[in-house]
């Protein structure tokens, strides 16, 4: 099923979570970024179009400026994101430049999606970048956003992006290879769910456990993202980004994940 879903999609939004981008010690996983950029380049060569949603600004900030790691104050956290966003994009720029691809950055908040003129401009910018062979990389504008205008997690941001761009597929890369009936980090007997056609059924049949150290939304926001895109006819895949050559593994059927089927 997963190889078929990928083969049929031309416009793909891919979200990479903080846990996938950061290593255990909080530093950026550059080897992952290089390998990931190579796989995106191969997708582009095969005629597909890719938009990336990348978390990790705060983690990148902490690894750049270690002395702020424990500051909880909002101004410091927003300042840390300003520093980390540059670091994050610098790493992506190097990774994609090695594959002869340019990147472009969009930093967004919920307000941008609620305003017709801004939405139109975002859409046009994404279309233009992609048409010109540039990889757009999107993140929440954490340095300016506050509770009322935040999207809050990149699962929902990537879903809104997929709808905005009229994507054919949304792929979320997390540190987990799909949804289980309970948190597999806490329960060894958790059962993997390969395919979801009814989100209400899924919700009533599973228990949602805690998120990871760098994670923000956990499984709950991944289900919200699935709800959003599938109702627009866009399928979603949840898969593990830490498995080697994660994109190709999904495309050729060696890596498993959970596929959320589009609703008609």
Using CA atoms, how far apart are residues 62 and 65, in angstroms rounded to an integer? Answer: 5
CB 215 within 8 A of CB 185: no
How far apart are CB 95 and ligand ADP at their closest, in Å?
19
List binders of ligand ADP among 166-195 (CB under 6 A). 174-176, 179-180, 182-185
Q: Which residues contact 17 (CB under 8 A, 6 or more apart)?
A: 55, 154, 172, 173, 174, 175, 214, 215, 241
Produce one character per residue of 121-154: b if its CB has 16 or more CB atoms within 10 Å, e if not.
ebeeebeebbeeeebbbbbbbbbebeeeebbebb
| 218 touches ligand ADP (CB under 6 A) | yes
Q: Pick the closer one to ligand ADP by CB: 80 or 206.
A: 206
CB 169 within 8 A of CB 11: yes
How far apart are CB 219 and ligand ADP at their closest, in Å?
4
| 258 touches ligand ADP (CB under 6 A) | no
Q: Pick the closer one to ligand ADP by CB: 165 or 214.
A: 214
**Residue of 19, 58, 91, 158 that binds ligand ADP (CB under 6 A):** 19
Residue with tokens 């498995």: 243
| 49 touches ligand ADP (CB under 6 A) | no
Residues contacting ligand ADP: total by CB under 6 A: 24
By the criterion CB under 6 A, which residues form the site for ligand ADP?
A: 17-20, 174-176, 179-180, 182-185, 206, 208-209, 211-212, 214-219
């Amino acid at each position: 099923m997963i190889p078929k879903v990928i083969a049929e999609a031309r416009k793909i939004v891919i979200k990479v979570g903080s846990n996938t981008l950061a290593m255990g010690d909080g530093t950026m996983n550059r080897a992952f970024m290089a390998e990931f950029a190579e796989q995106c380049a191969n997708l582009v060569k095969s005629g597909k179009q890719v938009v990336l949603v990348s978390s990790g600004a705060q983690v990148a900030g902490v690894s750049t400026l270690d002395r702020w790691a424990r500051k909880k104050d909002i101004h410091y956290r927003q300042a840390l994101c300003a520093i980390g966003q540059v670091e994050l994009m610098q790493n992506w720029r190097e990774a994609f430049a090695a594959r002869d691809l340019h990147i472009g950055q969009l930093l967004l908040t919920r307000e941008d999606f609620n305003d017709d003129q801004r939405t139109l401009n975002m859409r046009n910018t994404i279309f233009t970048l992609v048409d010109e062979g540039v990889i757009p990389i999107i993140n929440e504008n954490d340095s300016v956003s506050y509770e009322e205008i935040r999207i809050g997690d990149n699962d929902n941001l990537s879903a809104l992006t997929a709808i905005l761009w009229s994507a054919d597929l949304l792929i979320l890369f997390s540190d987990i290879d799909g949804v289980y009936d309970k948190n597999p980090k806490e329960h060894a007997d958790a059962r993997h769910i390969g395919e979801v056609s009814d989100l209400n059924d899924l919700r009533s049949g599973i228990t949602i456990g805690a998120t990871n150290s760098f994670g923000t939304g956990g499984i709950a926001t991944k289900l919200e993202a699935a709800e959003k895109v599938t109702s627009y006819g866009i399928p979603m895949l949840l898969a593990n980004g830490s498995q080697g050559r994660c994109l190709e593994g999904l495309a050729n059927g060696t890596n498993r994940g959970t596929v959320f089927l589009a609703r008609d």
